Structure 1
Amino acid sequence: MSDEPISSLPGVGPVTQGWLEEAGIRTISDLEAIGSVEAYRRLKFMQPRRVTLNALYGLEAAMRGCHWLDLPQDVKRALQQQAKAVDAAFHRGPASRCTPI
Structure 2
Amino acid sequence: MRITELRNLGPASARMLAAVGIHTVADLEAAGSAEAYRRLRGAGTPGLSRNLLWAMEGALLDIDWRNLPQELRAELLAEIGEG
Using the size of structure 2 for normalisation, the TM-score is 0.87
Report the CA distance shift for 1:26/1:48 in structure 2 as closer, same or farther (over 3 A).
Answer: closer
Count the aligned residue pairs: 82
Unaligned segments of structure 2, at least 5 residues: none
Structure 1 match to 2:50: 53
**1:48 CA displacement:** 4.7
Structure 2 match to 1:38: 35
Structure 1 match to 2:13: 16
Partners of 1:80 and 1:35 lie apart in 2 by 13
Give the alignment's Cα RMSD to 1 decimal.
Answer: 1.5
Using the size of structure 1 for normalisation, the TM-score is 0.73
Unaligned segments of structure 1, at least 5 residues: 88-101
- Secondary structure in 2 matching 1:15: helix
Rg larger in 1 or in 2? 1
Which is bigger in relative contact order (C-alpha 8 A, separation at least 6)? Answer: 2
Taking every aligned residue pair, what percent have the same amino acid on both sides? 35
Partners of 1:44 and 1:65 lie apart in 2 by 23
